[in-house]
Amino acid sequence: MSVINSGQIEFWNSEYGLAWARYADTVDVMFAELSDAVLGATVTGAGDRVLDLGCGNGGTALLAADRVTAIGNVTAIDISGPMIDRASDRLTEADIVNAIFILGDAATYPFSENSFDVIVSRLGCMFFDNPDSAFRHFSPSLDTGGRAAFAVWRAPRENPWAMAPVSAARDFLEMPARPGPEEPGPFSFADPDRVNRILSATGWTDTDMTPFDFRIPLGNTLEDALNFCIKMGPLSAPLSAVSGTNRTKAIDAITGVLEQNTDDDGIVRLDGACWIVTAKAP
């Protein structure tokens, strides 16, 4: 596997990647609306050959496999071994035969030219060390007239699903430095000017960025939501590094935020905000 994205490769193959693999079903429920939006933006349909970048546990790829029917196919790639293993298991469980999962780095993987009609990504495009190089690398894999759609997070302040628990607990934790606005990380494509600049510089055309706002369920119960924050969200590492009174205070603060955002059905939901980016192949 490529060493270009070595930091991200190490991160997503650590305990963090294992946690996301264990909670695959929860993640798919959280981001179900987003998967539908991405696939709808490319009008993915019967016979399409689809490449899913940063596929994670395979939720979007499995939906795409159903949409393209038996006459189409899906190739999905991710750098996380734990999540690719989980995706492969889910593929077998669902008895889907028109999709494959690849452990690899989309920034360097040797895709065949003109082998796809559609590229999609649900939150998988923000982690490249060098996004210009990455988008230039995989664009030839699209056939003539090929199209792409990917979802990326907007600014942190627009995403309380991630940031509200952080704001509540930060006084009790040693928080890591936030990545710079152009460093690999969940919000690295939040700036539309930067995204347009990258796509334009790498030859993509007809770029469009549409705001997509949705309510994100963090689990079926308050306990589920708290487990997500502790084990998978941006607080997982700081919480694992603290004990005693500060840990108790942090968890109490997080619980308070989650309680404030519990709907009448008992499900904790907070707002999320993405861009749905569409473009045509060079």
For residues 59 and 35, the answer to whether their CB atoms sit within 8 Å is yes
At 217-239, the pLDDT tens digits run 998 999 999 999 999 889 999 99
Could you tell me the pTM of the whole model? 0.94
- Domain spans in the chain, listed from the N-terminal domain onward: 6-159+180-218+272-280
Q: Is 70 exposed, middle or buried (0-12, 13-18, 19+ CB in 10 A)?
A: exposed
pLDDT of 4 above 70: no
Across the chain, what does the average pLDDT equal? 95
At 192-209, the pLDDT tens digits run 999 999 999 999 999 999
Q: How confident is the model at residue 196, as a pLDDT?
A: 98
The residue-averaged pLDDT of 73-95 equals: 98
Residue 151: strand pairing partners? 122, 276
User: What's domain 6-159+180-218+272-280's architecture?
Assistant: 3-Layer(aba) Sandwich (3.40)
Number of H helices, E strands in the chain: 12, 7
| pLDDT tier at 3, thresholds 50, 70, 90 | low
Q: How confident is the model at residue 202, as a pLDDT?
A: 96
